[in-house]
Structure 1
Amino acid sequence: MRITYDPAKREVTLAERGLDFADAAQVFAGPTFEAEDQRHDYGEKRVICFGLLSERLVVVGYTPRGADRHVFSMRKANDREQARIGPILGL
């Protein structure tokens, strides 16, 4: 599995949130909880993935592209998400 992303969007996320799309592989390598984002018709499948990065619960949005995952979003999980998803992941 290869991780791809828009370099400009990566830089914005790194500057604003302190999270690097290049670290998404670490999230995918551990325990995760995933759900397809069906809130809108995006014209492609979008997946919301909850997982750990440096012992912190994060949310990674990605689009499957063949065997690759194209990351379009990464943020720290909020308190509500930590309370709901944390126990599912054994936190």
Structure 2
Amino acid sequence: MMEIDFEWDEKKNEINQKKHGVSFEEAKSCFEDEHARVFFDVEHSKDEDRSILIGLSSELRTLIVVYTERVNGDDDLIVNRIISARKATKKEFQYYWNARKGDEP
């Protein structure tokens, strides 16, 4: 069974908190949301594959989390590196809650 771990650049975390008011520690909690949705980030995946997660955090905020995923086959470990996190826009918020209710477009 694969284990999941998280990492991030602490300097980037500090910048993200100042800019968006969201810590990467809070963003990490969105991965525990069973209703979270994940999308491949085509626009920003030129150098590495990036994904976008929309989910509910431990602080009950709907967040957008951009991350990369690395699989270490030797250790059966998935490492999610958080790149950025912010509060969902009104449109993203509505999408998440409609999808959660089963009204996904």
TM-score normalised by length of structure 2? 0.78
Larger Rg: 2
What is the SS of the residue equivalent to 2:22?
A: coil
Q: Which runs of 5+ in 2 are unaligned?
A: 72-77
Instruction: Report how many residues are paired.
Output: 91
Whether the 8 Å contact between 2:6 and 2:82 is mirrored in structure 1 is yes
Once the two structures are superposed, residues 13-54 of structure 1 have per-residue CA deviations (whole angstroms, 9 ceiling, x without a partner) of: 112222110223311001210000012442211000000112
Equivalent residues in 2 for 1:26-41 (5 A)? 26-30=29-33, 31-41=35-45
- Aligned sequence identity (%): 27
Confirm whether residue 47 of structure 1 aligns to residue 66 of structure 2: no
List structure 1 segments (4+ residues) > 6 angstroms apart after TM superposition. none
Gaps of 5+ in 1: none
- 16-25 vs 28-37, which moves further: 16-25
CA contact (8 A) 2:40 2:52 kept: yes
1:32-77 alpha-carbon deviations (Å, 9 max, x no partner): 1000001244221100000011222100000001101000010000
| Structure 2 equivalent of residue 80 of structure 1 | 91
Q: Equivalent of 1:20, from 23, 37, 62?
A: 23
TM-score w.r.t. the length of structure 1 is 0.89
User: SS at 2:49's partner residue?
Assistant: coil
